[in-house]
Structure 1
Amino acid sequence: MTETLFRDDAYLREVTARVIQADEAGIVTDRSNFYPRAGGQPGDSGVMRWAGGEAAITEALKGEGDAILHKLAEGSALPTPGTEVTLTLDWARRHRHMRMHTTLHLLCSLIPGAGVTGGQIGADKSRLDFDLAEPPTKESLTERLNALIAADHAVSDTWITEAELDANPGLVRTLSVQPPRGAGRVRLVRIGPLDAPVDLQPCGGTHVRSTGEIGRVEVLKLENKGRQNRRISIALVEE
C-alpha cells in the first residue's frame, strides 16, 4: 500500500519515501506525491533520487491494490527495497494538469444535465465528450469559462459514504467512468461555496486551490462524434 499524499496536498512538489518493491516494472514506495494515471488524468513524471543514484520517473501508474508504481526510464539503476528516496515532481507538467482538470469541472457546470461520455486531460489540450444533441457555441463557452475562472472560486474536497452517493446519483456526471468503490467512502470535489457550489462531483484527481489560478482558457473546437456525442476541446492561454 502507498500512502497517497497528493490526496491531502496536491502542491507537494518533493517528498521522501522508502522503497517497498523494486523491479523492472517500476518502484513502489510507502508514500508518494505522484498521481497515478486514472480517470483521464495522466500519471505524473519527475525524478527519483537516493544515495548514490537517481532515475527519471516516466510516469506513475496504479499497481496492485493501493500501490503506486513509479515507472523508471528504461535501463535505469534500481534502488533496493528499504532504501530512502526523494520523489520530485515535474511540477510544471503537474500544475498544468491541475489547471486543466479544474477547468473541465467548470465546463461540466456550464452544460447541466448532460452526461459525460469520455474525457482526457493533457498539458497542452484537454477534452470532454457530452451526451448532448446541441452544445453552446465555442465563443459563449469560452466567455463563460473565463468568467468563472476570474471569479476566483475556492476549490475544496470532502468525503461522503458510498450510501450517501447512492442516495444522490445526480452527483455522478461521468457515464463512462464510475467513482471507485470498495473503500466505503467517495471523495467529492467542490468548486465554490458550501451552500451554492458552482460544481460538485466525485473525483480522485488533483486540482488547483482556486479558479483564479487557472488563468485564461480557450475552447478550441466542438466536434460531432456521434448522434448524441459532442466533443469539446480546450487549451490554456499562456500570456
Structure 2
Amino acid sequence: MATELLYRDDAYLREATATVLAAGPEGVLLDRTPFYAQAGGQPGDAGLLRWEGGETPILKAVKGPEDTVLHLAAEGAALPPVGAAVSASLDWTLRHRHMRMHTALHLLCSLIPGAGVTGGQIGADRSRLDFDLAAPPAKDWLTEQLNALVAADHAVGERWIAEAELDANPGLVRTLSVQPPRGAGRIRLVRIGPEAAPVDLQPCGGTHVRGTAEIGRLEVTKLENKGKQNRRVYLVLAGE
C-alpha cells in the first residue's frame, strides 16, 4: 500500500494523524504522512510521532518499497504498535528552511538558462547546484539578481502534466543526472511566476514556499570548479 503524501496537497501542513501499518528497525510505516521522504537533493523531514502511551523522535524520512515512506527513529527508541493511531508532527523550522532553500535553487537555475544541472544538494544552512557550464556568472551578480527575484515576491505554484507532454517539451528538464519519476502517467511541474511568462518552470517533487519573498535575503558565497564543464554554486540564507 502506497503512503498518502499529504505534503503534495499542502506543504505547510505541520501535523497529521495517521495509522501505523508496520514498525521495526527499518522504520515506521504510516498510511499517510506530512513528512517529505529524502529525494532529489532535498533531505527527509525530521519530527516526532506521538501515540497513546508513548512518543519517539523521527530522525529522517526516507523512501521505502512500493511508494511508501519510512520514518526512521533513533536506534533503540520506542516504536508505536501496529494499528495505533499516531500524531505525526514535523520539525517545522527545519522543513521551512528546506522549502525556502529549494525554491531559492529554482531561482538560481533560472539565472543560468541553457546549462544542464549535473547535481545539487539542499541544506538548512547551505545549498548548492552544479551546472554543465564553462564559467558561471560572478557571485555578486548572482546574489543581486537572486535578491531581486525574491523581492518581487513571485507566486509559486504547480500543475500536473501527462508524461507525453513532457516528452514533447524535453527542455523543461534541467537536471542531467536525475530524471523525473515516470510510470504514474503524470509529472508535477513547479512554476515560479505567472503561467504565461514563468521565471522558472520544471518538473519537481519537492516542497516549496508560496511566494519568493518568503525565502528572505540570499547570498551566493562560493563558486567552485568541479571539472572541465562542471561549476558548483553555493548559496546561503543571508544573516541567519
User: Which TM-score band applies after superposition, normalised by the shorter structure?
Assistant: over 0.9
Provide the C-alpha distance between the structure 1 equivalents of 2:91 and 2:193, rounded to a whole number of angstroms: 28
For 1:56, the aligned partner's letter is P
What secondary structure does 2:80 align onto? coil
1:81 Cα deviation after fit: 1.2
Once the two structures are superposed, residues 90-148 of structure 1 have per-residue CA deviations (whole angstroms, 9 ceiling, x without a partner) of: 00000000000000000010000000000000000000000000110000000000000
Provide the C-alpha distance between the structure 1 equivalents of 2:7 and 2:82, rounded to a whole number of angstroms: 23
Q: Residue 159 of structure 1 aligns with which residue? A: 160
Q: Which runs of 5+ in 2 are unaligned?
A: none
Residue 58 (structure 2) pairs with residue 57 (structure 1): yes
Residue 210 (structure 2) pairs with residue 209 (structure 1): yes
Provide the C-alpha distance between the structure 2 equivalents of 1:80 and 1:42, rounded to a whole number of angstroms: 27
For 2:27, the aligned partner's letter is G
Once the two structures are superposed, residues 155-177 of structure 1 have per-residue CA deviations (whole angstroms, 9 ceiling, x without a partner) of: 00000010000000000000011
Provide the C-alpha distance between the structure 2 equivalents of 1:211 and 1:72, rounded to a whole number of angstroms: 33
Q: Residue 122 of structure 1 aligns with which residue? A: 123
**CA RMSD, aligned part only?**
0.6
For 2:150, the aligned partner's letter is I
For 1:133, the aligned partner's letter is A
Number of aligned positions between the proteins:
239
Q: Which runs of 5+ in 1 are unaligned?
A: none
TM-score (norm 1): 0.99
Provide the C-alpha distance between the structure 2 equivalents of 1:81 and 1:14, rounded to a whole number of angstroms: 20
Once the two structures are superposed, residues 10-47 of structure 1 have per-residue CA deviations (whole angstroms, 9 ceiling, x without a partner) of: 00001100001111111010100000000000000000
What secondary structure does 1:111 align onto? coil
Q: Residue 42 of structure 1 aligns with which residue? A: 43
Q: Residue 25 of structure 1 aligns with which residue? A: 26
Provide the C-alpha distance between the structure 1 equivalents of 2:131 and 2:221, rounded to a whole number of angstroms: 16
Provide the C-alpha distance between the structure 2 equivalents of 1:3 and 1:238, rounded to a whole number of angstroms: 37
Provide the C-alpha distance between the structure 2 equivalents of 1:238 and 1:150, rounded to a whole number of angstroms: 16
Once the two structures are superposed, residues 169-199 of structure 1 have per-residue CA deviations (whole angstroms, 9 ceiling, x without a partner) of: 0000000110000100000000000100000
Provide the C-alpha distance between the structure 2 equivalents of 1:73 and 1:11, rounded to a whole number of angstroms: 25
Q: Residue 95 of structure 1 aligns with which residue? A: 96
What secondary structure does 2:35 align onto? coil
Q: Residue 108 of structure 1 aligns with which residue? A: 109
What secondary structure does 2:120 align onto? strand
For 1:69, the aligned partner's letter is L
1:238 Cα deviation after fit: 3.1
Residue 220 (structure 2) pairs with residue 219 (structure 1): yes
Provide the C-alpha distance between the structure 2 equivalents of 1:3 and 1:13, rounded to a whole number of angstroms: 15
Provide the C-alpha distance between the structure 2 equivalents of 1:173 and 1:182, rounded to a whole number of angstroms: 20
1:212 Cα deviation after fit: 0.4
For 1:92, the aligned partner's letter is T
Provide the C-alpha distance between the structure 2 equivalents of 1:165 and 1:119, rounded to a whole number of angstroms: 22
What secondary structure does 1:197 align onto? coil
What secondary structure does 1:235 align onto? strand
Q: Residue 189 of structure 2 aligns with which residue? A: 188
TM-score (norm 2): 0.99
Provide the C-alpha distance between the structure 2 equivalents of 1:194 and 1:35, rounded to a whole number of angstroms: 26
For 2:19, the aligned partner's letter is R
Once the two structures are superposed, residues 209-237 of structure 1 have per-residue CA deviations (whole angstroms, 9 ceiling, x without a partner) of: 00000000000110000011000000001
For 2:127, the aligned partner's letter is S
Provide the C-alpha distance between the structure 2 equivalents of 1:136 and 1:126, rounded to a whole number of angstroms: 17
